[in-house]
Amino acid sequence: MFDCSKSTKYRNNIMAKITEGVYKIKGDGNVYVILGGKNIVIDTGDLINSLTIKSEIEKIVVLDKVDIVLLTHLHYDHAGNVDLFPNAEFYASVEEIENYRERPEESFFSGISKKSDIILRERLKPLSDSIIGLEVIRVPGHTRGSVAFLDRERGLLFSGDTIFGDRIGRTDLPNSVPDEMAESVERLIGLVEDGELVLCPGHDY
């Protein structure tokens, strides 16, 4: 399995260029930036890393030029910095949106800013089966509404916390669905191996 945390040399141990126009920023949760006709951020990391994430993204693209923020799920270490992007549209699965509005404490058991909370409550749009050239792969398990994003053109799979390089995500959290994790993991491994994709995980551990 090709894992971008192992195959990419880091410029400064924080940011890496995965391929042309695609960058990874390493934190408690990884952040990915895709440049193009629409500038996309996949996951936004943990509030505790906000200053570092902001600084690294600004080396790639101006924050107010980020058009779309895609969230693999709404845990604090993936959705903690949505407030960095003043002009973006924000997307997550309908299940994650519903869960957050009903039980936000299941996702943000760490810190969240008031501004980010408002964005997640009021501005999230539900994902369809594809968005801006990325296929949306529904992978319940780590959370009920977890998704991965498949970029077939570049051969990249952004797996969130469903699968990492050599392990799978946790299923012991309040909004986990353990019984569905094995099928989701098998689906992603199949995609990676059949398509010889580069895996871009939510964490490097």
Query: Domain holding 191: CATH number?
Result: 3.60.15.10
> Locate tokens 């039980």: which residue?
103
Residue ranges, the chain, pLDDT below 50: none
Say what the pLDDT of residue 11 is: 53
pLDDT value, residue 7:
53
Q: Do 104 and 75 touch, CB atoms closer than 8 A?
A: no
Q: How many domains does the chain have?
A: 1
Domain that holds residue 96: 2-201
Report the alpha-carbon distance of residue 26 to residue 167 in Å, rounded: 18
Q: Tell me the C-alpha to C-alpha distance, in Å, between residue 175 and each of 51, 95, 100.
A: 28, 11, 10
Q: Alpha carbon of 29 to those of 76, 81, 86, 128: distances in Å?
A: 9, 11, 21, 24
pLDDT value for 27: 84
